[in-house]
Structure 1
Amino acid sequence: PFMTARKVKKTGVFVITADRGLCGSYNTNILSAADKFLKNYSQDAVELILMGRKAIDHYRNKQWRIRHKAFEDGEKQDIPKVQAFVQQLSDWFIKGELDEIWIIYTHFVNIISRKVIVEKFLNISEPAKGKPAINYIYEPSAEAIFNEIMPRFLVGKLHSALDEAYASELAARIISMRTATKNADEMIYSLTLTRNKVRQASITKEMLEIISGAEGLK
């Protein structure tokens, strides 16, 4: 059922953002990519699945219908929780409530580089057909093995996306805080320099007044 291709009437879009700010353009980049992607659809053809307060706040008063809010209030994204969430997504797809599901998240490249990914989660595209190099015999059957493996594959795929998003968020926050600290240090240095100049000018003025007064008494 995960490879079922049908006429798309309803699309689910899972947008992964952070709960907090102070992470530079991390949330802005994701939401901009999501808004751009949604322009391809009409209002009644899309339902949003949102993760993170920033996504919820962004779409709360917009035209798109919100189907589900995932991992609210900093809920831990451990394997059992991810399995339950993937089961929910799969049920919506298999029952025909959603004909396709996309995920939008940030891929972690390195500490200073990240990339927003827009990726189809369901349905799974069939591999290109060709003559197999080896004819395998499957027990009990290829279909049974596929149906057993596919849910695990989907859990791994989503868990990887969540990990990538979290790593990207932390990296963005580190860079943002590092930049803020550098700017604060530069401002402190500049203000200290200004204070010293003003203080020096004040002392010089007082000394000149004292000298002038002393000269006047001679």
Structure 2
Amino acid sequence: MGDVGGFYPFMRNHNNDGSISQEFYRWLVVAQAAKNVLDMRYRLMDYLYTSLHQASLDGGPIIQPLWYKYPKETSTYPIDLQFLFGPSIFISPVTEENSTSIMPNDMFYDFQTLAPIIGAGSNVTLNDMDFMEIPVYIIGGSILPLRVNGTMTTTELRQTDFELVVAPCSSGNASGQLYVDDGVLLEKTNGTTTVTFQYWNGTLNINGTFGFDLGVNIMDVKISGC
């Protein structure tokens, strides 16, 4: 699938000699769906890199089943299509007509519109979904450092400014992290930068250790649900 693959740690299109051609560009709808999700993936690249860095420290999985985060909700146990992409993103692919989705008991925000969604641990029918869209939600209590737009290469991406998306939990608080290195050297002789974000009682605090100048700025802060 051209869209859900954008939320795997390693994304690629695969085929074999003699198989039916299935490149994205052969169908307009599939091509547009792939473009949409690739734009999201590039905007989320620093979030993914930060999640991978954290996994290298604590051994936690990048892709998580719903029960990994919501172990007390037995309705999540049989779910094998929905998943968490890192600690803050909830992916709910539409794999067939009138697909149903479990929304755990938590606060979520639509990734595109930032509209709040209160989960009740019940099934929700995903109808009227565009073929070129995939339901992506930000989990309440998260702060996402996103690039302001997607790019064609990671080199260009590193020259693109950030925006922060604050997605408060039901108590109104949120937190997040950003890890950045030079993106080239295996040995981090040029230093690393780790930034923590805390949103508490309506105030955003940013702290960190800064090993080098990223050369970009935080251009906008969006508070979800406001």
Question: What TM-score bracket applies, with the shorter chain setting the length?
Answer: under 0.3
Greater RCO, 1 or 2 (C-alpha within 8 Å, sep 6+): 1
TM-score (norm 2): 0.23
Higher strand share: 2
TM-score (norm 1): 0.24
